[in-house]
Amino acid sequence: MELDTDALLAAVTENDFTGVIRVEAGEECLFEQAFGMADRAHGIPNTADTQFGMASGSKTFTALAVLSLVAEGTMALDDSVRRWLGSDLPQIDDAVTVRHLLGHRSGVGEYLDDDADADEYLMPGSMHSYASPEDFVPLLDVPMLAAPGSGFEYSNGGFVLLGLLAQRASGVRYQELVRERVLRPAGLQHTDFLRSDELPGSAAVGYLYPDSLRTNIFHLPIEGSADGGAYLTVGDARTFWLALATGAIVPSELVDEMTTPVPDHDPEWPYGLGLWLPRPGGVWAMVGADAGVEMKSEHVPAHDLTWTVLANESDKAGPMMKHLRLWREAALE
């Protein structure tokens, strides 16, 4: 199962990639290498142990926190969101369910322009004012875009809403809920929600442009929330996939729910409940992109293959993943 490292390294050079790439097959690490700077101003290089922002990749953590509450009976997949919203957000249809939100089929309105340029300022007010799903409630008070269950439409707002519901249902702050229900059971020792105003030396700063010191600190909430923003390492990405596949986070029947495509999905990029399921079948994926951040991690449990690309600059991971997917397709033939 040979990886064309020459082609991969050529793509790294061509695209001025800054981040870390790791590829594993069973117990064998086929490739691991870091590139560029974690902190350009102070000349600190990225390493295999650097923590990178996940952007929307950590939506999967939100889904698992919710599913853990489903497993214990605190929530149910077909519960109406109104059960926890009460009179809040009256524009959200009472027919919207937890399952709809997990599968991006709720039809709820969006608070964020996901197609905007990476350096645009998308959220009103100061980024320090967004530390909890409750802080997003005014932004979520928007009209429905479609009838609940009528189709697939990727929704950041829907996942913020999931975090809000989980926080209210459990009585535990969202970030701590994920730590308790997902990160610790999975054994993730280097993954967490880090505040942008107190990043540890192990974390990469997110940059907006090549050869620039401009960071993403004014573009993203001060602490990751339910639609994304946790930090992880490439090693923890592998640990996470193995924990998910073995039922260490939620029971296997709920993992099956997560990894079953929802109706109306893109045939090339199906979605389950909190996971992308790209073709060919059997691949699980976490994907995230934001100002100064891009990550892609994919796993094939049937063949115990994992490949992860973490970047601390906008629009950097895609070209690397193109080469890794060609390797995957050849490996699975």
**How large is the average pLDDT for residues 134-148?**
89
Closest by Cα among 315, 284, 297, 318 to 191: 297
> Contact at 8 Å (CB) between 33 and 47?
no
Closest by Cα among 224, 253, 13 to 135: 224
Residues sharing a CB contact under 8 Å with residue 59, sequence separation 6 or more, in sequence order = 159, 226, 227, 228, 274, 286, 288
Which residue is catalytic, options 56, 68, 132, 225?
Answer: 56
Predicted pLDDT of residue 127? 63
**How large is the average pLDDT for residues 102-124?**
76
Confidence of residue 220 (pLDDT cuts 50, 70, 90): confident
Mean pLDDT is lowest, of 18-22, 69-73, 124-128, for: 124-128
**How large is the average pLDDT for residues 10-21?**
94
Give the separation between CA 245 and CA 241, rounded to whole angstroms. Answer: 6
> Contact at 8 Å (CB) between 231 and 51?
yes
Give the separation between CA 263 and CA 306, rounded to whole angstroms. Answer: 27
Predicted pLDDT of residue 328? 76
pLDDT in tens, 225-238: 999 999 999 999 99
Across all residues in the chain, what is the average pLDDT?
92
Burial class of residue 303 in the structure, from the number of CB atoms within 10 Å of its CB (0-12 exposed, 13-18 middle, 19+ buried): middle
Predicted pLDDT of residue 116? 61
Percent of the chain with pLDDT over 90: 76
Predicted pLDDT of residue 330? 73
Q: Is 118 helix (H, G, I), strand (E, B) or coil?
A: coil
Give the separation between CA 7 and CA 5, rounded to whole angstroms. Answer: 5
**How large is the average pLDDT for residues 157-166?**
97
**How large is the average pLDDT for residues 198-203?**
95
Whether 196 is a known active-site residue: answer: no
User: How many H helices and E strands in the chain?
Assistant: 11, 9
Q: Higher model confidence: residue 331 or residue 84?
A: 84
pTM above 0.85, yes or no: yes
End-to-end CA distance of the chain: 11
Closest by Cα among 332, 304, 301 to 26: 304
Provide the sign of the torsion angle of the four alpha carbons 319, 323, 326, 327, taken in this order. negative
Distance of CA 280 to the CA centre of its chain: 21
Predicted pLDDT of residue 126? 63
3-state SS track over 172-214? CCHHHHHHHHHHHHHCCCCCECCCHHHCCCCECCCECCCCCCC
Which contiguous run of DSSP H or E holds residue 23?
strand 19-25
State residue 118 phi and psi, 5-degree precision: -65, -20
